[in-house]
Each structure stands twice: as C-alpha cells, then as structure tokens.
Amino acid sequence: MSKLFKFKQILFVLIVALVLVTSNSCKKEDEQPPELPPADALLMDFSYFDDGVPQGKKSVSTYNNFGYSVITIGVWNLSATVNIIIPVAAYAEAFNHEAVYLGDNSWQWLYSVTISQATYTVKLISDRISNEEFTLKMLVDRSGEQGFENFTWLEGTVRYDRTSANWTLYESPSVTWPVVNIEWTKDWEKETYTIKYTCMKPDSDLHGGIIEHGVTEGTVLDAYYNIILPSNTVNIEWNRTTKAGRVQSSSYFGNTDWHCWDENLLDVNCQ
C-alpha cells in the first residue's frame, strides 16, 4: 500500500511538472510580440534629390537632365510630406514602447506622441493571420483643436520575417477613401529593397499614379525611381556612390533615349 501511495505521489509530481512545462512554453511563445517593420517600410527615401541643382558654377541649363529629375521627384516628395510623414512619425514612436499581449495572438502598443504641437494617443494592434503573416492597425486619438477619436490612420499586412509589407494609409476621419497604398520588400542579407506608392487620393493630380524606389545589387546604377502617370512614364537611375545617373522621359525629352549626368551632376552623353 505504501509503494502504491509513493507511486501515486511520483505520478502526480510528474503530471504537475508536465503541465507547468507546457504552460510555461506556451506562455513564452505568447510573450513574444511580432517584430515591427522599420519606418522605412512606409516612408520613401527622397534624400538623393534634396539638395537640388547646384548654383553659381555654370549655366543651370547644363544641369538639365539632373534638374528635370529633381523637379519630378520633388512633386512626389511634397505629396509624401503632406500626407505620410506625420502618421509615419506616429508609427515610429512604437519602437520606444513595449507591447502588451491581448490574448488570441494579438498584441498592442499603447502610447502618446506629440508631433507638430499636436498630441496623438496611438493604439497599434497586431493580429496573427498565419505562421507567415500578421496584420497591423494603427488607431489614433488626437486631442485639442481639430481633435478626433478612434481613427484608423494606417493598416497593413506584414510578414513575420519583415521581408515585405503592404499598407493602406487614410487621410482623416472625415475622408473615407485611402490616400495611398504602400508596398515594401526588403532583402536584409543583400541590403536591397523596393518601396512603391500608388496614389489613391481622388482629388490629387497624382491620382492613379505610381512611384517605385529601389536599391539593387550588382549593377553600376544601383538605385532607381520608376514613375508611372497616365500622361507619361519617367525612369531615373543613379549610382549611390558617384551620384552619376540618367533619366528617361518621352514626354519631356521627345524620345525614349536615356539622358545622363556625371558625378558633378552635369549633362553628359550616355555611354
């Protein structure tokens, strides 16, 4: 009888230990929130053309090819600044905060951030779709003048390995249609990426237009923009080290040839 009692005790201890191990392993898995994609997955890099055309050296006309590229990219840069930069800044603040587990494979980053003298309270919520993907939704309250509550400013689908994301960005609580669709891919090993904006804002001159920016590997011209509008297509390529590049636009140049600039941004004949 004593042996049977001891056996039951041992069996009980083993069962409890198994339950605890299983519980802790599940808990450990639950306590790992998805890794958020970087803010670069939302905000296109326009910095190469920020400085514009050099002045005071030679006639500005000698910078025609680069100058046309600057103007073309500047239109999209302005649109991105107006419509995208503030919600991206609100999203980026999530990296300074810990996520809280909501249960059922859902996580929430809850925080406040002040941008351009306005305070936003943000709930960034993730939900698991599968072993490969999860959703992200950014719900925002704004206090003070022009305030709003529970506005879905941003939503998207992200791969857990952070190699791609697809986003939809909205303008305001009073405007129901999306402003822009954003598609992003990243090869972390090669350090190459693509990011594409499709303008969905009906009252914008860029409505229906697409701009794609990417960094490539194994080519002399290792960065590019492709711009597609109903009236024209513009392709721009350059070398990130030397700054030499080229542009193609049949509407502007009247032909489908490439038009080049050198490391000093001056017009040159394409080789």
Give 47-86 pLDDT, tens digit per residue: 998 877 776 555 556 999 999 999 999 999 998 888 999 9
pLDDT score for 27: 40
What is the chain's alpha carbon radius of gyration, rounded to the nearest angstrom? Answer: 26
Closest CA to 168 of 121, 135, 209: 135
pLDDT score for 146: 81
Domain ranges of the chain: 45-268
Angstrom distance (rounded) from CA 35 to CA 163: 11
Residue 184 in this model has a pLDDT that exceeds 80? yes
Q: Say if CB 169 and CB 156 are below 8 A apart.
A: no
How much is the pTM? 0.85
pLDDT score for 59: 57
At 126-179, the pLDDT tens digits run 999 999 999 999 999 998 888 899 999 999 999 999 999 999 999 999 887 899
| Rounded average pLDDT over 230-247 | 95
State the chain's mean pLDDT as an integer: 88
pLDDT score for 51: 76
Highest mean pLDDT among 5-9, 15-19, 64-68, 77-81: 64-68
pLDDT score for 104: 94
Look up residue 260 and give its two tokens. Answer: 């080049």
> At residue 132, what is the residue type?
E
pLDDT score for 29: 47
Closest CA to 73 of 263, 223, 257: 223
Closest CA to 42 of 140, 149, 158, 142: 158
Look up residue 180 and give its two tokens. Answer: 């822009």
| Rounded average pLDDT over 253-268 | 96
| Rounded average pLDDT over 78-96 | 94
Residues 6+ apart with CB under 8 A from 91: 39, 42, 122, 124, 138, 154
pLDDT score for 56: 57
Look up residue 61 and give its two tokens. Answer: 């006309």
CA angle centred on 100, ends 95 and 103, rounded to 5°: 135
Angstrom distance (rounded) from CA 251 to CA 233: 8
Closest CA to 31 of 88, 79, 98, 129: 98
What is the DSSP secondary-structure string of the chain?
-HHHHHHHHHHHHHHHHHHHHHHHHHHHHHT-PPPPPPGGGTS---GGGTT-S--SSS-GGGGHHHHHHHHHHHHHHHHHHHHTHHHHHHHHGGGGS--EEEETTEEEEEEEEEETTEEEEEEEEEEE-SSSEEEEEEEEEE-STT-EEEEEEEEEEEETTSSEEEEEEEEETTEEEEEEEEEEEEETTTTEEEEEEEE--TTSTTTT-EEEEEE-SSSSS-EEEEEEETTEEEEEEE-TTT--EEEEEHHHHSSS--EEE-TTS-EE---
Angstrom distance (rounded) from CA 168 to CA 19: 43
pLDDT score for 10: 46
pLDDT score for 68: 95
pLDDT score for 231: 86
pLDDT score for 57: 55
Angstrom distance (rounded) from CA 80 to CA 50: 14
